[in-house]
């Protein structure tokens, strides 16, 4: 059976639905649930799903390192790893400068902060003392906690090859995915590791609808936001969509939502997302797998249904690819 992940996270729906959705994904044969973090706590969401499941892996997608000091992150990760019987994976990322600045948080050098954060979390998970001269320590989990990095830049992918167990990619065409994966694995070799030590996950926004035009319109509305984020905008440009990236950022800077959406060409959207009827989406998923996505991640997006119904429909559609 091929590996396949799906994004499940609370949004407008109550937290109590997480367990039901997690069980549905596990029963359908999905390999992993990835929990995004926006108006929720991804680690706590994984804990809730751990109680409702027995086999499926639970992955944060991602934990924002600026929202938690290493000791609280490590303590929570250790607890969920024990609760899940070793099924938890800690996905870490640096978030985005505009969001952090709006919250009064200084990003600084995000990549170097991620490096230091990883080293400290790993140290604490080994059961070492919280600080020199302090007797307190965490209870080390019986199962090691793998760490994945959200990676949009080659430099972060390379750092994952050195320090992490996997990379979490999102919204990049197959060629860009291959380049990031190769960078991570080359660096793994350089540090005496095996290329297989770094798992390549590939997040794919899914807009499933029998009407291709409606699906494409929904994708344009939803994904235009990413064109305003410097990291994603840069990735779009490096993936061969310089004109779209420039137009999207210019529109975002003047607050023109309509122009930002118009900047998202069909070609750009189709290269990064699964859009249209189920058969078309399954074909595109197969193409990403063929290009090297070890663990594709389906990110369901609502069109005509509410969030829960959209996730359930996605489970049903993409279970055919298992």
CATH code: domain of residue 75: 3.20.20.30
Overall average pLDDT of the 65-71 stretch: 96
pTM of the complete model: 0.96
Overall average pLDDT of the 242-246 stretch: 97
The answer to the question of residue 232 being in a domain is no
Q: How confident is the model at residue 98 (pLDDT cuts 50, 70, 90)?
A: confident
Examine the pLDDT at 108 and tell me if it is beyond 70: yes
- CA 225-173-96 angle, to 5 degrees, is 35
The answer to the question of residue 233 being in a domain is no
pLDDT of residue 89: 98
Place of tokens 């959209």: 310
More confident residue, 32 or 39: 32
Q: Which two tokens stand for residue 212?
A: 């291709």
Examine the pLDDT at 189 and tell me if it is beyond 90: yes
Q: How confident is the model at residue 38 (pLDDT cuts 50, 70, 90)?
A: confident
In contact, 43 and 80? CB cutoff 8 Å: yes
The answer to the question of residue 308 being in a domain is yes
Q: How confident is the model at residue 158 (pLDDT cuts 50, 70, 90)?
A: very high
Buried residues in 263-300 as b, exposed as e (16+ CB within 10 A): bbeeebbbbbbbbbebebbbebbeebbeeebebbbbbb
Q: How many helices (H) and strands (E) does the chain have?
A: 14, 10
Cα–Cα distance for residue pair 3/297, rounded to 1 Å? 9
Q: Say how many Å lie between the first and final Cα of the chain, rounded.
A: 6
Place of tokens 């990735």: 235
147-150 and 166-170 as β-strands: parallel, antiparallel, unpaired? parallel
Overall average pLDDT of the 54-82 stretch: 97
Number of compact structural domains in the chain = 1
Domain with 116, as residue range(s), is 5-213+273-321
Examine the pLDDT at 14 and tell me if it is beyond 70: no
The answer to the question of residue 166 being in a domain is yes
The answer to the question of residue 226 being in a domain is no
Average pLDDT, the chain: 96
Examine the pLDDT at 183 and tell me if it is beyond 70: yes
The answer to the question of residue 47 being in a domain is yes
pLDDT of residue 237: 96
Q: How confident is the model at residue 11 (pLDDT cuts 50, 70, 90)?
A: confident
pLDDT of residue 13: 63
Element (H, E) at 297: strand 295-300
The answer to the question of residue 264 being in a domain is no
Cα–Cα distance for residue pair 83/30, rounded to 1 Å? 20
The answer to the question of residue 277 being in a domain is yes
Overall average pLDDT of the 5-29 stretch: 89
What would the pLDDT profile of 283-311 be if each residue is shown by its tens digit? Answer: 999 999 999 999 999 999 999 999 999 99
């Amino acid at each position: 059976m091929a590996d396949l992940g799906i994004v499940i996270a609370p949004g407008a729906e109550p937290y109590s639905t997480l367990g039901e959705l997690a069980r549905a994904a596990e029963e359908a044969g999905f390999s992993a649930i990835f929990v995004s973090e926006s108006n929720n706590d991804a680690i706590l969401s994984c804990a809730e799903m751990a109680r409702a499941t027995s086999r499926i892996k639970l992955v944060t997608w991602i934990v924002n390192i600026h929202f938690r000091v290493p000791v609280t992150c490590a303590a929570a990760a250790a607890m969920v790893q024990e609760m899940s019987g070793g099924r938890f994976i800690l996905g870490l990322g640096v978030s985005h400068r505009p969001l952090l600045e709006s919250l009064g948080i200084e990003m600084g050098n995000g990549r170097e902060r991620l490096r230091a954060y990883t080293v400290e979390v790993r140290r604490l998970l080994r059961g070492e003392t919280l600080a020199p001269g302090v007797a307190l320590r965490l209870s080390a989990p019986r199962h090691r906690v793998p760490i994945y990095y959200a990676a949009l830049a080659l430099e972060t992918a390379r750092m994952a090859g050195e320090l992490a167990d996997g990379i979490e990619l999102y919204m990049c065409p197959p060629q860009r995915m291959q380049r990031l994966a190769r960078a991570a694995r080359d660096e793994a070799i350089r540090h005496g590791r095996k290329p297989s030590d770094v798992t390549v996950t590939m997040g794919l926004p899914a807009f499933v609808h029998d009407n291709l035009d409606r699906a494409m319109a929904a994708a344009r509305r939803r994904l235009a936001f990413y064109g305003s984020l410097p990291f994603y905008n840069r990735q779009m440009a490096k993936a061969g969509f310089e004109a779209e990236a420039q137009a999207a950022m210019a529109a975002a800077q003047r607050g023109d939502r309509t122009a930002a959406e118009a900047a998202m060409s069909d070609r750009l959207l189709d290269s990064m997302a699964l859009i249209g009827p189920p058969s078309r989406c399954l074909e595109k998923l197969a193409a990403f797998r063929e290009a090297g996505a070890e663990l594709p991640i389906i990110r369901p997006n609502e069109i005509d249904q509410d969030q829960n119904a959209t996730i359930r429909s996605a489970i049903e559609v993409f279970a055919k690819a298992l």
